[in-house]
Amino acid sequence: MIEELKKTIQEYLPDGDFFLLEKSFNFASHAHFCQIRATGEPYINHCYAVAMILTELRLDIPTICAALLHDILEDTLVVREELKDEFGEEITLLIEGVTKINKYKFDNQEVAQAENWRKMLLAVVKDTRVIIIKLADRLHNMRTIKFLPPEKQEKIAQETLTLYTPFAHRLGIYKWKGELEDLTFEILDTEKYNEIKEQWQVRTESSVKNLEYIEKQLTEKINSSKINFRILARPKNLYGIYMKMQRQEKSFSEIQDLFGMRVITDTEEHCYQILSIVQSEFEMVENSFTDYIAVPKNNMYQSIHTTMLGDNGMIVEVQIRTEDMHKRAEYGIAAHWRYKESFDKKNTEPIKSFDAESHLEFIKHILESKDSDEFLTAIKTECNFEQIYVSTPKGRIIKLPEGATALDFAYAVHSDIGDMCMGVKVDGKIVSLDYKLTTGQTCEVLTRKNIKPTEHWLDIVVTPQARSRIRKYLRENKK
pLDDT digits (tens, 9 = 90+) for 276-290: 999 998 999 888 899
Decide if pLDDT at 346 tops 80.
no
Q: Per-residue pLDDT averaged across 219-245, rounded?
A: 90
CA distance 328 to 80: 34
- What is 166-183 written as a DSSP string? HHHHHTT-HHHHHHHHHH
List b or e across 391-418, with b for residues whose CB sees 16 or more CB atoms inside 10 angstroms: beeeeeebebbeebbbbbbbbbbebeeb
Residue 10 CB partners (closer than 8 Å, separation 6+)? 16, 18
Q: Per-residue pLDDT averaged across 239-264, rounded?
A: 87
Local structure of 445: helix, strand or coil? strand
Q: Per-residue pLDDT averaged across 219-247, rounded?
A: 89
Local structure of 239: helix, strand or coil? helix
* Predicted confidence (pLDDT) per residue in 105-133, tens digit: 555 677 877 888 888 888 877 888 898 99
pLDDT at 301: 86
Asked if 261 and 215 count as a contact pair (C-beta separation under 8 A), the reply is: yes
Q: Angle, nearest 10°, between helix axes 18-31 and 80-98? A: 90
Active site residue 361: no
List b or e across 327-365, with b for residues whose CB sees 16 or more CB atoms inside 10 angstroms: bbbbbbbbbbbbbbbeeeeeeeeeeeebebeebbebbeb
The confidence band for 90, taking pLDDT boundaries of 50, 70 and 90, is very high
Is 0.75 surpassed by the pTM of this model? yes
Which residues, listed in sequence order, are joined to residue 230 by a DSSP beta bridge?
264
| Least trusted range by pLDDT, from 51-55, 83-87, 348-352 | 348-352
Tell me the backbone φ, ψ of residue 397, rounded to 5 degrees.
-85, 130
- Strand 304-309 and strand 283-284: the pairing is antiparallel
Report percent pLDDT > 90 for the chain: 51
Decide if pLDDT at 397 tops 80.
yes
Q: Per-residue pLDDT averaged across 308-329, rounded?
A: 87
Local structure of 130: helix, strand or coil? helix
Q: Which of 11, 74, 373, 386 is catalytic?
A: 74
Nearest to 114 by CA among 424, 370, 456: 370
CA distance 361 to 367: 10
H/E element holding 357? none
CA distance 469 to 67: 37
The confidence band for 352, taking pLDDT boundaries of 50, 70 and 90, is very low
CA distance 403 to 437: 7
> Side chain identity at 339, as an amino acid letter?
Y
CA distance 164 to 178: 12
Q: Which of 22, 41, 75, 189 is catalytic?
A: 75
Domains contained in the chain, CATH given:
2-188 (1.10.3210.10), 190-329 (3.30.460.10), 362-476 (3.10.20.30)
| Least trusted range by pLDDT, from 11-25, 153-167, 203-217 | 203-217
Active site residue 266: no
